[in-house]
């Protein structure tokens, strides 16, 4: 922990001696006094503190927007941190010009974060799409504009930037400061930090920190941390024999963008756009979601239906646990304090397996679900041979509906079969009323989500209208 | 002209209170709030906090040197609770530390011995127990009691409308700097600099002139900083006074959620009588406002509710009763719309219920009863330049309402599991502070020797575009480029006795004050050139594009030469302007008068699609025709309409405040309270401005635009209801807002019987 965090902040090389658990937001505002990065919520829900983190990838630097309020300073080692100040040029950038021209800034408090995120979108060498820009904006709250002028700004941006995306092209066209071209070489000289072997009993293990900073934000800057991110072997997705090995530190965004994952869960990107903002997806880890053990964790609910196996490591020893038996009670896990979830094995489903994820929340996007659920089902003809049904928000743990699955196996996919499952589902779940909804609502949603799975996966056999008509 | 701050905003260079470099030795304050809803304070234990490293002071009620009182209308609000606490989070102690983290840790070490007292959260229950604030009020027109018997149909019902968190992106914050002597300078994120100044002076027991309040800009206000920026400024000032050091107090988001008030929830009962043809003959409404623990601005909010109880409609017989009910929740406060949305919602519910009973489309009964020129509002004022029908007809024609309705009907016939709904929402909003004396403003204009201009007003820039408007007004009045004009910060030493920036009236009042000041300077400047060759009378002198014209002919006099000459001739290049809205008054004994300078009209059409399986909905399109008078800056005005609309859509749908039985806010941060995001907000919003011919109060014929558009959002409730009724024809759904996906689904499947009733921690909803 004593070594300094060595990184670049905009165009400046930094060796920061502050506690590595200090948030990047506090470092920027309190230590560097770069005041363009704003504090709006300290929990990753508003985007006012968005910054870019650039990481070397071969001969390029890949920039991703993240919320600086949930990121530890120590994570910046070897990276390029970009704030709105680092994007400023004597003239306005296309993103800045779009916002000015369309009146898409009013009070201005959310604006720098939006500038940063939209700029990162252009830094990727790809075609600009309205949906892509909207997706980038989705982690940003703006109370003044109602977003309409920001959407006009998107149109303006498409016209003004056209195909000149990517860092080189942006720099060549005066749309990004030239120092960005030097960053790969400058980052390469920063020596890698060694994993903190010294701490055997850290007060906190931290992965993406997107939940830990919300829960324990005041303690982390003063605690002994084990920053898991330094374990390179805990990242990445590798196809193996019969399963896919997902490093526990794989971010949501990396997970949803990986071809192997998309092959198993074809709609994963769509699900993810509702689960978390891009800024959070770039930090939140798949393993963190599991270990966090929220009874309504979206990714966990998916992994539970997929029949994942968890690999837990403690020092040199490791063991595996099926995810279905990992959750023992509310936030209680089959895991000792020294064990780390290092990887997740996803069995590759048989070719005709169907997977669906459903979620209902107050706000459709980026809200914790009232109830969520996933279904993995394989049929032979119309007969269900394999069934995995999970639900979140209906029990103290992410719930695998064992009895309901048993009921379905061997039955035909038809309205009567589904209707026969209603009471079984109700017996398996035990929701409580909370801010996400009353117990009665969650019970009702459990039934409705079950129908929704079948309607989505078997559109030829199951019609929503007919299912609804059969309800009381 | 673009937003005057747009460039510095996008570069991240605009400074908010805590972006300004801190003065040396600055201390930081954090606030300890009551853990209980209601109780008698027996002891405050601060010794552990005081003993902590980094803690400089812990201040409680007994440390207030002046009056421990900050109620803006009724003195019922202590800055720091001394004997009794009335809501969870009510400030009890201020902890001052060398950094914010120390101060917060100090807060964590404070404990309170308290004898708990019975608490109330429901406004009707509070009313029954006599827990009211001020006197109940009744506005009446015609004779309601006599009118019922002439009606073909009389229906009654109840409504609930929830509160709304402001969600200004910048939380409450203030910085207090001790100056020499016993003077203080306060930087505050307030909509009401003079209010802060007055209360800081009162709390510290010093004359008002000892306190200077400076406001550069706000990261959003929406009413939440009209009165409720004051306590935090007073606490920072108190801490600075005691320590002799600069002190900053900035709330974290969760603290802001917990400790500050929100839009008032209302419980209301209505009764409406109509003819078979849908003509409304009588309307009676009783509003029980959930005011929270203290008066704050509640009585003024209630007044605006009553004034807007008939919205855009003419109803010959009206009786509107309203009462502020004291409950053990944070004191509710101003919020864009200021009571009007609550009043309008109830009437829309009554109209919907009547239409449903008559088997008549809702929009038919709405249109039939719209205000016409010279119709009377229940408070006696007549509708002048009335655009209720104009905007309605323009909207239905421009956006093809009959075709849209046919399309929605056809969709609903061919779809079962999804339904569409469509609804219209007319809005008529009165412009002026309803408290007549507040309708005053002043401005200070300096012209410097190089021709550049400095303008100070009592208006606060909070994103709404006030400074852009003022610069536009001044440039147009002076005949010079806006680039020569600088809008100064809002500061109590340059502008005294300001009214808050609220009531949509900030541009109206301060813009007109600027015109008064500029008029004086122009008059003097015209005298300077009069007598020069070819210029014989100042009446025919004008300045256009920075050049003096005489009788329509260009002269040799440029703006710069004019100013230079005036200066060397010892002509005063500064002026103070004062404006008071003419012709308004209100007689509270009779509840009659002319409270508003004018009304803003408009109509929105909102279309939604409802997923009847899951109870979720999507807002597909919003079409608006909005009465703007003569636009000053369409970019600014459009931003106000769109932003207000979306805030209103959130109010009626997903913004759901919930407290538990202990009075603790459950929707306590942005993870649990969801404001509209880029996906929730409809992509398809069209706004057409009805550009009126008549001369509004101005400036330059411009009409106020800040609040009225919020109320277009009310329409979404009825659009969703329309879709719900298409799915379950004939069902009488509750008039409970917000219409969350939960409320939708539970009502669509009201027969659903959960198999076993678990023991649940019951929560009650804000106002519901």
**ipTM score assigned to the predicted complex:** 0.97
Please name the residue that has the structure tokens 């056809």.
B410
* Cα three-residue angle B31-B34-B37, rounded to 5 degrees: 150
Say if residue B429 is in the same domain as residue B523: no
**Is A364 in contact with B679 (Cβ distance < 8 A)?**
yes
Spatial separation of the C-alpha atoms in residues B170 and A141, rounded to whole Å = 12
Which of A107-116, B72-81, B216-225, B530-539 comes out lowest in average pLDDT?
B530-539
Phi and psi at A344, nearest 5°, equal -125, 130
In a domain, B524, yes or no: yes
Chain A: residue nearest B659 by CA?
A: A435
DSSP 3-state assignment of B227?
coil
Q: B14 with B218: CB under 8 angstroms? A: no
Give contacts of A45 with chain B, Cβ < 8 Å: 669-671
Say if residue B308 is in the same domain as residue B403: yes
Q: Where are the beta strands (DSSP E) in A254-339?
A: 309-314, 317-322, 327-329, 332-333
Phi and psi at A171, nearest 5°, equal -65, -45
Name which of B12, B262, B674, B724 to mutate to probe chain A: the one with the most chain A Cβ atoms within 10 A of its Cβ: B12
Give the pLDDT confidence score for residue B193 in this predicted structure.
98
Residue A209 burial class via C-beta count within 10 angstroms: exposed 0-12, middle 13-18, buried 19 and up: buried
pLDDT, averaged across chain B: 96
Which of A339-348, B54-63, B154-163, B754-763 comes out lowest in average pLDDT?
B754-763
Say if residue B255 is in the same domain as residue B303: no
Give contacts of B170 with chain A, Cβ < 8 Å: 38, 40, 107, 109
Distance, in angstroms, between A302 CA and closest chain B CA?
A: 19
Distance, in angstroms, between A322 CA and closest chain B CA?
A: 30
pTM: 0.97
Say if residue B223 is in the same domain as residue B280: no
DSSP 3-state assignment of B383?
coil
In a domain, B155, yes or no: no
Q: What is the DSSP letter of A348?
A: P
Task: Check if A441 contacts B (Cβ < 8 Å).
Answer: yes
CATH number of the CATH domain containing B40: 3.90.1170.50
Q: Which two tokens stand for residue B729?
A: 């024809």
In angstroms, how far is the first alpha carbon of chain B from the final one? Answer: 45
The H helix count followed by the E strand count for chain A is 18, 18
pLDDT at B760 over 50: no
Say if residue B369 is in the same domain as residue B430: yes
Give the pLDDT confidence score for residue A195 in this predicted structure.
62
Nearest CB to A111 within list B9, B166, B681? B9
**Is A148 in contact with B417 (Cβ distance < 8 A)?**
no
Task: Check if A442 contacts B (Cβ < 8 Å).
Answer: no
Say if residue B276 is in the same domain as residue B237: no
Q: B37 with B330: CB under 8 angstroms? A: no
Domain boundary among B534, B558, B580: B580
Q: A270 with A310: CB under 8 angstroms? A: no
Is residue B222 very low, low, confident or very high in pLDDT (cuts 50, 70, 90)?
Answer: very high
Is residue B623 very low, low, confident or very high in pLDDT (cuts 50, 70, 90)?
Answer: very high
A positions 193-232 inside 8 Å of B (CB): 214, 218, 221
Give contacts of A148 with chain B, Cβ < 8 Å: 642, 646, 681, 685
Spatial separation of the C-alpha atoms in residues B723 and B733, rounded to whole Å = 11
Closest listed residue to residue A23, CA positions, set A65, A78, A86, A67: A67
Say if residue B399 is in the same domain as residue B457: no
Taking CB atoms and an 8 Å cut-off, how many pairs form between chains A and B? 274
Cis upstream peptide for B738 (omega within 30°)? yes
**Is B253 in contact with A43 (Cβ distance < 8 A)?**
yes
Please name the residue that has the structure tokens 């852009």.
B468
Tally Cβ neighbours within 10 Å of residue B216: 19
Residues in chain B: 768
pLDDT digits (tens, 9 = 90+) for B469-513: 999 999 999 999 999 999 999 999 999 999 999 999 999 999 999
Exposure string for B623-636, b = 16+ CB within 10 A, e = fewer: bbbbbbbbbbbebb
Mean local confidence (pLDDT), A175-187 = 98
B positions 241-270 inside 8 Å of A (CB): 252-253
pLDDT digits (tens, 9 = 90+) for A321-375: 999 999 999 999 999 998 999 999 999 999 999 999 999 999 999 999 999 999 9
pLDDT at A199 over 80: no
Give contacts of A448 with chain B, Cβ < 8 Å: 613-615, 745
**Is B10 in contact with A430 (Cβ distance < 8 A)?**
no
Instruction: Give residue B175's domain range.
Output: 6-118+167-259
DSSP 3-state assignment of B352?
helix
Name which of A37, A39, A106, A447 to mutate to probe chain B: the one with the most chain B Cβ atoms within 10 A of its Cβ: A106
Could you tell me which residues come within 8 angstroms of residue A375 by beta carbon, excluding any fewer than 6 positions away?
A: A305, A354, A355, A356, A387, A388, A389, A390, A453, A457
A positions 130-169 inside 8 Å of B (CB): 134, 137-138, 140-151
The rounded Cα B516 to chain-centroid distance in angstroms is 27
Is residue B766 very low, low, confident or very high in pLDDT (cuts 50, 70, 90)?
Answer: very low
Task: Check if A459 contacts B (Cβ < 8 Å).
Answer: no
**Is A144 in contact with B643 (Cβ distance < 8 A)?**
yes
Name which of B644, B677, B712, B766 to mutate to probe chain A: the one with the most chain A Cβ atoms within 10 A of its Cβ: B677
pLDDT digits (tens, 9 = 90+) for A211-238: 999 999 989 999 998 888 888 889 999 9
In a domain, B134, yes or no: no
Spatial separation of the C-alpha atoms in residues B672 and A368, rounded to whole Å = 8
**Is B654 in contact with A360 (Cβ distance < 8 A)?**
no
**Is A108 in contact with B645 (Cβ distance < 8 A)?**
no
Distance, in angstroms, between A143 CA and closest chain B CA?
A: 7
Nearest CB to B678 within list A83, A147, A444? A147
In a domain, B127, yes or no: no
Give the pLDDT confidence score for residue B763 in this predicted structure.
41
**Is A108 in contact with B463 (Cβ distance < 8 A)?**
yes
Tally Cβ neighbours within 10 Å of residue A3: 14
Say if residue B527 is in the same domain as residue B613: no
Domain boundary among B580, B597, B622: B580
Q: B571 with B525: CB under 8 angstroms? A: yes
Q: Which conformational region is residue B450 in: left (phi greater than 0), alpha (psi within -120 to 50 degrees), or beta?
A: alpha
Phi and psi at B185, nearest 5°, equal -115, 130
Rounded alpha-carbon distances, angstroms, from residue A409 to A36, A308, A378, A423, B245: 57, 20, 10, 16, 73
Spatial separation of the C-alpha atoms in residues A119 and A161, rounded to whole Å = 11
Domain total of chain B: 3
Spatial separation of the C-alpha atoms in residues B740 and A177, rounded to whole Å = 46
B97-100: list long-range contacts, CB under 8 Å, 24+ apart. B97/B27, B97/B28, B97/B29, B97/B30, B97/B54, B97/B55, B97/B56, B98/B27, B98/B28, B98/B54, B98/B56, B99/B28, B99/B54, B100/B28, B100/B30, B100/B248, B100/B250
Rounded alpha-carbon distances, angstroms, from residue B383 to A101, B45, B429: 37, 59, 11
Domain boundary among B580, B610, B642: B580
Tally Cβ neighbours within 10 Å of residue B7: 17
**Is A40 in contact with B169 (Cβ distance < 8 A)?**
yes
Say if residue B255 is in the same domain as residue B272: no
Chain A: residue nearest B168 by CA?
A: A143
Please name the residue that has the structure tokens 């982390």.
A220
The rounded Cα A323 to chain-centroid distance in angstroms is 19
Helices (H), B109-208: 123-128, 144-147, 193-204
A positions 402-431 inside 8 Å of B (CB): 423, 426-427, 430-431
Is residue B523 very low, low, confident or very high in pLDDT (cuts 50, 70, 90)?
Answer: very high
The rounded Cα A30 to chain-centroid distance in angstroms is 28
Q: Which two tokens stand for residue A52?
A: 């870019």
Say if residue B246 is in the same domain as residue B270: no
Active site residue B25: no
In a domain, B87, yes or no: yes
As a whole number of angstroms, the longest Cα–Cα distance in chain B is 97
Full DSSP string of B115-137: EE------HHHHHHTT-EEEEEE
Distance, in angstroms, between B508 CA and closest chain A CA?
A: 19
In a domain, B74, yes or no: yes
Please name the residue that has the structure tokens 């030795």.
B25
Give contacts of B647 with chain A, Cβ < 8 Å: 143, 146
Give the pLDDT confidence score for residue A472 in this predicted structure.
61
**Is A364 in contact with B635 (Cβ distance < 8 A)?**
no
pLDDT at B121 over 80: yes
Spatial separation of the C-alpha atoms in residues B192 and B213, rounded to whole Å = 10
In a domain, B671, yes or no: yes
Say if residue B611 is in the same domain as residue B749: yes
Is residue A1 very low, low, confident or very high in pLDDT (cuts 50, 70, 90)?
Answer: very low
Rounded alpha-carbon distances, angstroms, from residue B5 to A104, B12, B187, B218, B471: 12, 11, 19, 12, 12
Q: Which two tokens stand for residue B590?
A: 């009779």
Spatial separation of the C-alpha atoms in residues A204 and A223, rounded to whole Å = 7
**Is B645 in contact with A431 (Cβ distance < 8 A)?**
no
As a whole number of angstroms, the longest Cα–Cα distance in chain A is 69
Strand-pairing partners, residue B580, are B440
**Is A100 in contact with B2 (Cβ distance < 8 A)?**
yes
Strand-pairing partners, residue B764, are B659
Is residue B268 very low, low, confident or very high in pLDDT (cuts 50, 70, 90)?
Answer: very high
Chain B: residue nearest A47 by CA?
A: B169
Q: Which two tokens stand for residue B206?
A: 């010093």
**Is B746 in contact with A444 (Cβ distance < 8 A)?**
yes
Task: Check if B669 contacts A (Cβ < 8 Å).
Answer: yes
Phi and psi at A29, nearest 5°, equal -80, -40
pLDDT digits (tens, 9 = 90+) for B632-691: 999 999 999 999 999 999 999 999 999 999 999 999 999 999 999 999 999 999 999 998
CATH number of the CATH domain containing B609: 3.30.365.10
Task: Catalytic residue, from B556, B707, B742, B761: name it.
Answer: B707
Is residue A135 very low, low, confident or very high in pLDDT (cuts 50, 70, 90)?
Answer: very high
In a domain, B746, yes or no: yes
Say if residue B408 is in the same domain as residue B306: yes
B positions 597-626 inside 8 Å of A (CB): 612-616, 618
pLDDT, averaged across chain A: 95
């Amino acid at each position: 922990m004593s070594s300094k965090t060595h990184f670049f902040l905009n165009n400046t090389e930094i060796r920061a001696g502050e506690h590595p658990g200090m948030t990047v937001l506090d470092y920027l505002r309190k230590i560097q006094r770069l005041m363009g990065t704003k504090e709006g919520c300290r929990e990753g829900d508003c985007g006012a503190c968005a910054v870019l983190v650039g990481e070397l990838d071969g001969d390029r630097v890949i920039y991703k927007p993240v919320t600086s309020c949930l990121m530890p300073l120590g994570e910046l080692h070897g990276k390029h941190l970009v704030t709105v100040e680092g994007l400023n040029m004597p003239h306005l950038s296309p993103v800045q010009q779009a916002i000015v021209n369309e009146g898409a800034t009013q009070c201005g408090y959310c604006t720098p974060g939006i500038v940063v995120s939209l700029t990162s979108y252009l830094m990727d060498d790809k075609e600009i799409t309205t949906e892509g820009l909207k997706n980038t904006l989705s982690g940003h709250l703006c109370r003044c504009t109602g977003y309409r002028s920001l959407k006009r700004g998107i149109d303006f941006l498409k016209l003004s930037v056209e195909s000149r995306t990517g860092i080189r092209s942006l720099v060549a066209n005066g749309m990004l400061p030239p120092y960005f071209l030097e960053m790969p070489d400058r980052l390469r000289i920063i020596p890698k930090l060694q994993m903190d072997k010294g701490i055997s009993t850290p007060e906190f293990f931290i992965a993406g920190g997107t939940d830990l900073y919300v829960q324990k934000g005041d303690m982390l800057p003063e605690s002994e941390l084990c920053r898991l991110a330094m374990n390179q072997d805990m990242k990445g997705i590798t196809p193996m024999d019969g399963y896919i090995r997902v490093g526990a530190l794989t971010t949501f965004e990396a997970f949803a963008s990986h071809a192997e994952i998309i092959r198993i869960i074809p709609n994963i990107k769509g699900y993810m756009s509702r689960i978390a903002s891009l800024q959070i997806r770039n930090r939140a880890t798949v393993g963190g979601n599991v270990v966090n053990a929220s009874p309504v964790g979206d990714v966990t609910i998916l992994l539970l239906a997929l029949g994942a196996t968890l690999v837990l490591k403690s020092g040199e020893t490791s063991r595996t646990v099926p995810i279905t038996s990992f959750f023992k009670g509310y936030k209680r896990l089959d895991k000792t304090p020294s064990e780390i979830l290092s990887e997740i094995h996803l069995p590759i489903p048989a070719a005709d397996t169907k997977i669906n994820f459903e979620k209902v929340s107050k706000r459709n996007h980026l809200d914790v679900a009232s109830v969520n659920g996933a279904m993995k089902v394989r049929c032979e003809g119309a007969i269900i041979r394999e069934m995995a049904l999970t639900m979140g928000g209906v029990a103290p743990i992410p719930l695998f509906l064992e009895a309901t699955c048993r009921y379905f196996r061997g039955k035909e996919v038809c309205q009567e079969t589904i209707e026969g499952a209603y009471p079984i589902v109700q017996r398996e779940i035990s929701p409580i009323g909370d801010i996400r909804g009353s117990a009665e609502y969650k019970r009702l949603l459990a039934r409705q989500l079950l129908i929704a799975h079948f309607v989505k996966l078997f559109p030829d056999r199951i019609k929503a209208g007919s299912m609804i008509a059969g309800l009381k | 002209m673009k937003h005057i701050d747009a460039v510095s905003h996008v570069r991240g260079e605009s400074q908010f209170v805590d972006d300004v470099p801190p003065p040396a030795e600055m201390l930081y304050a954090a606030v300890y709030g009551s853990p209980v809803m209601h109780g008698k304070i027996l002891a405050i234990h601060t010794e552990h906090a005081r003993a902590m490293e980094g803690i400089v002071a812990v201040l409680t009620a007994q440390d207030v040197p002046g009056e421990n009182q900050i109620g803006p209308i009724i003195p019922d609000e202590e800055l720091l609770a001394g004997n009794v606490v009335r809501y969870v989070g009510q400030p009890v102690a201020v902890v001052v530390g060398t950094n914010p983290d120390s101060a917060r840790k100090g807060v964590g070490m404070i404990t309170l011995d308290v004898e708990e007292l019975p608490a109330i959260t429901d406004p009707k229950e509070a009313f029954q127990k006599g827990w009211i604030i001020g006197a109940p009020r009744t506005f009446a027109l015609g004779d309601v009691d006599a009118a019922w018997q002439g009606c073909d149909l009389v229906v009654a019902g109840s409504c609930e409308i929830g509160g709304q968190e402001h969600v200004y992106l910048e939380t409450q914050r203030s910085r207090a700097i001790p100056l020499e002597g016993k003077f203080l300078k306060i930087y505050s994120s307030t909509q009401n600099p003079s209010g802060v100044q007055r209360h800081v002076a009162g709390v510290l027991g010093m004359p008002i002139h000892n306190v200077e309040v400076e406001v550069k800009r706000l990261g959003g206000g929406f009413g939440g900083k009209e009165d409720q920026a004051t306590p935090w400024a007073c606490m920072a000032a108190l801490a600075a006074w005691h320590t002799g050091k600069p002190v900053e107090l900035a709330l974290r988001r969760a603290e802001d959620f917990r400790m500050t008030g929100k839009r008032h929830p209302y419980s209301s009962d209505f009764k409406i009588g109509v003819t078979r043809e849908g003509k409304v003959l009588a309307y009676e409404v009783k509003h029980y406002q959930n005011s929270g623990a203290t008066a704050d601005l509640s009585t003024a909010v209630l007044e605006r509710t009553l004034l807007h109880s008939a919205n855009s409609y003419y109803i010959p017989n009206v009786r509107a009763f309203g009462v502020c009910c004291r409950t053990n929740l944070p004191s509710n406060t101003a919020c864009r719309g200021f009571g009007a949305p609550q009043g309008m919602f109830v009437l829309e519910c009554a109209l919907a219920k009547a239409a449903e009973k008559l088997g008549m489309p809702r929009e038919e009964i709405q249109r039939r009863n719209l205000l016409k020129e010279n119709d009377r509002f229940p408070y006696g004022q007549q509708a002048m330049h009335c655009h209720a029908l104009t905007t309605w007809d323009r909207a239905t024609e421009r956006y093809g309402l009959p075709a849209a309705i046919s399309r929605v009907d056809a969709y609903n016939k061919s779809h079962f599991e999804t339904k569409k709904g469509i609804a219209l929402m007319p809005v008529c909003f009165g412009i002026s502070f309803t408290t007549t004396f507040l309708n005053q403003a002043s401005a200070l204009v300096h012209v410097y020797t190089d021709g550049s201009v400095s303008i100070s007003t009592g208006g606060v820039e909070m994103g709404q575009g006030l400074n852009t408007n003022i610069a536009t007004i001044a440039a147009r009045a002076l005949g010079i480029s806006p680039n020569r004009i600088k809008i100064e910060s809002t500061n109590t030493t340059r502008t005294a006795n300001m009214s808050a920036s609220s009531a949509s009236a900030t541009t109206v009042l301060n813009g007109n004050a600027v015109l008064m000041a500029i008029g004086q300077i122009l008059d003097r400047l015209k005298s300077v050139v009069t007598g020069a060759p070819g210029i014989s009378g100042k009446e025919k002198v004008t300045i256009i594009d920075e050049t003096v014209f005489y009788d329509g002919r260009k002269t040799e006099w440029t703006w710069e030469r004019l100013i230079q000459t005036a200066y060397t001739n010892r002509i005063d290049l500064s002026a103070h302007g004062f404006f008071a809205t003419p012709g308004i008054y209100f007689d509270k004994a009779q509840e009659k008068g002319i409270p508003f300078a004018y009304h803003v009209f408009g109509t929105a059409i909102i279309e939604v699609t409802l997923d009847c399986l899951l109870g979720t909905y999507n807002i597909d399109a919003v079409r608006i025709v909005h009465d703007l008078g003569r636009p000053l800056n369409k970019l600014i005005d459009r931003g106000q309409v769109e932003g207000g609309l979306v805030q209103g859509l959130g109010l009626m749908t997903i913004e759901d405040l919930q407290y538990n039985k202990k009075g603790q806010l459950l929707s306590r941060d942005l993870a649990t309270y969801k404001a509209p995001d880029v996906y929730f907000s409809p992509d398809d919003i069209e706004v057409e401005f009805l550009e009126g011919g008549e001369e509004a109060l101005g400036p330059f014929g411009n009409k106020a635009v800040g609040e009225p558009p919020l109320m277009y959002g009310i329409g979404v409730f009825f659009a969703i209801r329309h879709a719900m009724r298409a799915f379950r024809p004939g069902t009488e759904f509750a008039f409970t807002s917000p219409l969350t996906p939960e409320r939708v689904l539970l009502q669509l499947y009201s027969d659903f019987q959960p198999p076993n009733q678990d023991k649940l921690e019951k929560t009650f909803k804000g106002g519901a």
